[in-house]
Amino acid sequence: MAHLGKLSSYAKHRTMASMSCPSNGEPYRIIVVDDFPAWRVMLRTLLSRTPCRMVGEARNGLEAVSKASQLQPDIVILDIGLPGFNGIEAAKLIRQKCPRARIVFLSQQTDLETKEAALAAGGSAYVLKTNACIDLPRAISTLQDAAAAG
């Protein structure tokens, strides 16, 4: 299951179809960052079944920071093992340039130190790639609920 930092797991049983849009009625804008093209395609497909809208993709940390700064997304789905500087380093810069964006880490790394470092760098959730199809929509839904609650 996704590690949701300080957020509650209220939405853990919601489906992708029941995910809501922001109060302004517009879909949540998401950037996907992963160096592996197949993961970006899978995430694009997964997000196409939600009321979210993928507005950009990046392949490395530098590109992630640039895209986030330019596009000002609501959510950044960020791999940790990126070429150049890693996702944790990228998250710190994204939080500076795009403070309203929520960062959802998506990783193969299961160790507690990496999870803690990711959340300390500004991550709102940590999802293992092995469970992404189930846990990523749940994490996004929980972030949406937290935003709606104020």
CATH label of the domain that carries residue 112: 3.40.50.2300
Residue 6 placed within a domain: no
Residue 7 placed within a domain: no
DSSP 8-state class, residue 13: T
Residue 118 placed within a domain: yes
Residue 15 placed within a domain: no
Q: What is the chain's mean pLDDT, rounded?
A: 85
Q: Check the CA dihedral 52-45-128-31 and report its sign.
A: negative
The per-residue pLDDT for range 93-128, each reduced to its tens digit, is 999 999 999 999 999 999 999 999 999 999 999 999
Whole-prediction pTM: 0.84
Residue 9: what pLDDT?
33
Question: Taking Cα atoms as reference points, which of 114, 120, 26 lies closest to residue 73?
Answer: 26
**Tally of domains within the chain:** 1
31: its two tokens: 């950037």
Residue 14 placed within a domain: no
Domain interval for residue 37: 27-149
